[in-house]
Amino acid sequence: MTTERIPMLGDKFPEIEVQTTNGKMVLPKAFTGKWFILFSHPADFTPVCTTEFVAFQKRYAEFKSLNCELIGLSIDQVYSHIKWVEWIKDNLDVQIEFPIIADHGDMAKMLGLVHPEKGNNTVRGVYIVDPEGKIRSVLFYPQEVGRNFDELLRIIKAFQVADSKGVAMPANWPNNELIGNKVIIPPATDFKAAQYKKSRYDNYDWWFCYKEVEAE
């Protein structure tokens, strides 16, 4: 007997057709060649979720400049999503431009977005998916704590630098307490490479070498 598990880091995002405020879409195919963030919220017409949608919309242009799309999700009917988006526009003067999935619970279950100890609604889940449809990051926040959207932007930027330069990113990059905005060189795997890297790069030791990010 097999037990279904939620998708993990490195897995392909599961293919699924969804109904959204922008019509039907097939994920991850709809975002082929792009990064995307799928994020769940507990419910429409709730105060913390409203602040989150406004925060995402305020940064939407910056996400798009990073070739990253956004798509929301909750276990609400599409009519509720539409009415909530209208309310945000009418009362807060913010037009939500990204689609929102109307889930009946199947997708939330597939992605592990309902945590029984936190109630029957979706928690504040985040799936970050790369242009090949591979899951790169998974985060869960409880209903009572809103997300930090600048951190989600930072994660996308960090992934893109790491992927393009073959490096790793330090804590709080680009404002790390030890090496500032520099990036970490992958550790050597043999003695000769260790000696070379220690002589070639700034370092604290052969296993902790770092450098500036080269301009494109």
Candidates 153, 119, 126; CA nearest to 46 is 119
DSSP state of 62: H
Instruction: Count other C-beta atoms under 10 Å from residue 89's C-beta.
Output: 12
Within 8 A by CB and 6+ apart from 70, the residues are: 36, 37, 39, 56, 60, 63, 98
Specify whether 68 is catalytic: no
The catalytically annotated residue of 38, 49, 152, 155 is 49
Q: What is the token pair recorded at 24?
A: 């039907």
Q: What are the CA-CA distances from residue 18 to residues 28, 152, 200 (Å)?
A: 10, 23, 51
Q: Which of 63, 5, 11 is nearest to 39 (CA)?
A: 63
Q: Where are the alpha helices (DSSP H) in the chain?
A: 47-58, 60-65, 78-92, 106-110, 149-165, 191-200
Q: Number of H helices and number of E strands within the chain?
A: 6, 10
Which residues have a catalytic role annotated? 49
